[in-house]
Amino acid sequence: MTTHLTGVERTFGRDEIIVSKTDPKGRIIYANEVFVRVGGYSEQELLGQPHSLVRHPDMPRAVFKLLWNTISAGREMFAYVVNRAKNGDHYWVLAHVTPTFDASGGVASYHSSRRAPRRDAVAKAAALYADIAAVERAHADRRAGVDAGYQALLASIEKSGAPYDEFVLNL
């Protein structure tokens, strides 16, 4: 994986869906052709790796804390996410992450379908995420930064007066 960022945005078709599936710990167990192509990784490079492999450094960790809190509780979640491709390019997605349950009701895996987001929503999400990332960076301790960013994210949601699903889909 590259550690540099190119500043180049990749896009994918409005009719395409990036699909991946992970085990309960977030390791990739399935990646469709669109994910492979857009991310620039081979299927072999993705399988078995943590999904955080494509995490862009501009993406606040607080959003992932909310994501994991939500899906590990057995609920679905939508989120705008900026990912990093293998070569350092980036791409935005509107992710829909859902848990898959085993026969005893436990989480067996997670399924994520990502669509091309609206450009106006990307601009709003990028501004919100920049603010939350600044809160995170203001703390020397990473965990304290994530917790502070998480509280800032929750405050933004509460200020909107809408439940999270409406908040994110109305960006």
Query: pLDDT tens across 75-94, in order?
Result: 999 999 999 999 999 999 99
Query: Which segments of the chain have a pLDDT < 70?
Result: 1-3
pLDDT tens column, 56-67: 999 999 999 999
Report the alpha-carbon distance of residue 13 to residue 65 in Å, rounded: 29
| Residue 92, token pair as written in the block | 């935005």
User: Tokens 């919100």 appear where?
Assistant: 128
SS3 84: strand
At 2 the pLDDT is 54
At 25 the pLDDT is 96
Start-to-end CA distance of the chain, whole Å, equals: 31
Q: Are the C-beta atoms of 123 and 116 separated by less than 8 Å?
A: no
At 104 the pLDDT is 96
Nearest to 40 by CA among 28, 27, 30, 31: 31
